[in-house]
Structures are given as C-alpha cells and as structure tokens.
Amino acid sequence: MIKIVKRDQPSRAIFFFTPVLAIFLTLVAGGLIFFILGFKPFEALKFFFIVPIADKYGFSELLLKATPLCLIAIGLSFCFKSNNWNIGAEGQLTFGAIVSGGVALLFYEQEGFYILPIVILAGAIGGMLYASIPAILKTYFNTNEILVSLMLVYVSKLILDYLVVGPWSNPEGFNFPETRQFSDSAKLPLLFEGLRIHAGIFLALAAVVISWFVFYKTYLGFQMKVSGFSLKTARYAGYKGKKMIILVFLISGACAGLAGVGEITGPIGQLHREISPDYGFTAIIVAFLGRLHPVGIIFASLVVAITYLGAETAQIFMQIPKYTGQVFQGMILFFLLASDYLLFFKIKFIGSKK
C-alpha cells in the first residue's frame, strides 16, 4: 500500500535533490525515446551527453553555450523570484545585440581600449530598454507581461532581420544577410588559442556573484522574496511594488542584453540573422533547474548546455534532428516540476516493512 502524506513544511534537502532526480529521469526517458526510434539507447545517450565534451575543444564549446544561458537565467531569477513572468528574454537578447552591434559598427575600422566597454554597455542598455516595455505596460496599464514580452520576441527578430538584410548589411557582402565584421577593439578577447571560449564568461561569473549578494545580503533581495511569496504581504509591508517590478525587469533585460553582446562580439564578430538558438527560452529552464539560486544556475546552465552540443553531435553521427535538444529541455522541466511534488508530500509505503 502506498499512502501520500502532506509534509508539515517543505523539505530543504529534497529542494536541492529534485533537480538531480529530474536529470536522471530525463536520461531514462530520453533513452526510451531513442530506443523507440530504433537506436541503441546507451550508445545514443553517450553520443548525446559524453562524446561532445570529451575533449578540450568540446569543453570550450560547453562553456561557450553555458555562458549566455547562465547570464540570462541569473537575470530571469530576479523576475521569477518576485513573481514577474518575463518570458521574452530571447527578445531582450536580440535587441541588446542589435544596439551593441550598431554601436560596434559605428567604430568600424577604429581601434581603442574604450570601444569594447562602450559596446558592452550599449548591449546592456538595449536589453534594459526592451525589457522596460513589458515592465511599464504591466505596472501602468495592467497588461499581462507574459504575452507582451513574448510578442516582443518576434518583433525583435524581425527588426534584426530588417537591419542585416537592409540598411546595415555589408556593402561588400554579396547580399549575404550579415553586417560588416566588427573591429578587433569591439570584440571580446578569446581566452585560449584555437578555442572559441571568450571573455564573456567573466560577465556571467560577475552576474552570479552580484546576484548572490543582492539576493541574500540586501534589503531588495528580501523584498523580492516576500513579494514572490505573497504579493499581499508585500503590499502590507509597504513595499513599492511598481518600482520593484520595473527594477527586476531592467536587471533581467540587462543580463539578456549582455548575453546578446557575447553572442555577436565573441567568435562571430558581426550581426547576422540568427544570433541565438533560443537561448532566451532555454534559460527559463536553466533558472528553474538551478532553483533560482546563483550557484544552482551555474550547474544547471552546464547541464542544459550539453543538450545543445549533444543535439549537434547526434545530428551528425546519428541523423537525429537537432530539435531533439528541445525535447530533452522540455522533459527536464516536466520532470523537475513533477518531482517538486515530493517537496510538499511524502510517499509512505505502508505494510511492506511490517
């Protein structure tokens, strides 16, 4: 007999254990899907999760993909902690990239130490501007932020498309949908010879440290936690709800914008049509898998980054479509949410031990 009992209070140990359980269950289910598709499950999982990161180059690629995921997820955790559903980080990333790319193009064929900081700052500002739209509409017009932030994703991608095909396209580029190459001073330096990992990783690490400090050491962090727990309590305590909503959206937008900067000023060094393989959406999963905790998000971003690499490897070696990565990402979130049940309920096996 199985009996389900409600816990007196959510279990702290299980809070950090369930993400691990979710990853394990995803692997099991993923193996099952591969089996149904006619592949050997263990071999397929090996191609998906181990082969891509087995060498130095693979590990660099892992960090390259984990960097934007971590950065965006850190920003999103500010929103999610305070009950603001910003799901348009992909748009904020794109708009940040547009603004910083535009600034980088202004410095075409110019060199100077001051260029890169300006380009990075422009990206953060671009992301903030774009995130301020759903924030302002939510606070002053009571508009649902989920739908607005999402609609803006489509708009941002179309703006980017317009710019790289039209006014910003490379005049010597044979009509390819891309801009000129940025000057070296506008690019984030690569960290190692022959590897693509770049200095953007330090932006992500800085975001981790700062967010940890804000969450656990400042009054703002406390206010966010209370608002996330109960909006009524927050109002009763006299917190300025509107200001906080706008602030968390701006932080989140800045992080997404910085991720956009990393994508265009890193190895690529120009604006083109597809700057992000949906990092902004995947980062939502990363934020949850990392339990909205800065350190948790680091681990989660590494785990989820593997699904990107794995999907690419599996596509090359097994002719599995690259969208398989999304299947895994969706499953991780399903299993994570499902195993949260264990936070609040205990499953007791009655009679088996007697």
Interface residue list for another protein (CB under 8 A)? 6, 37, 85, 87, 137, 141-144, 146-148, 150-152, 154-155, 158-159, 161-162, 165-166, 281-282, 284-285, 288, 320-321, 323-331, 333-334, 337-338, 340-341, 344
Shorter beta-carbon distance to another protein: residue 208 or 285 = 285
In the complex, the smallest distance separating the C-beta of residue 172 from another protein, rounded to whole angstroms, is 22
Q: How far is the CB of 304 from another protein (least distance, A)?
A: 11
Q: How far is the CB of 89 from another protein (least distance, A)?
A: 12
Q: Among residues 194, 229, 156, 200, which one has the least CA distance to residue 64?
A: 200
Q: What is the nearest approach in angstroms of another protein to the Cβ of residue 294? A: 19
Distance of CA 325 to the CA centre of its chain: 15
Q: Give 180-184 contacts, CB < 8 A, sequence gap 24+.
A: 180/105, 180/108, 180/270, 181/269, 181/270, 182/101, 182/104, 182/105, 182/107, 182/108, 182/119, 182/264, 182/265, 182/269, 182/270, 183/104, 183/107, 183/108, 183/109, 183/110, 183/111, 183/115, 184/111
Q: Quick one: 258 or 283, whose CB is closer to another protein? A: 283
CA distance 334 to 326: 12
Nearer to another protein, 30 or 200 (CB): 30
Give me the least distance between CB of 104 and another protein, in Å please: 21
Select 60 or 329, whichever has its Cβ closest to another protein.
329
CB nearer to another protein: pick between 43 and 196: 43
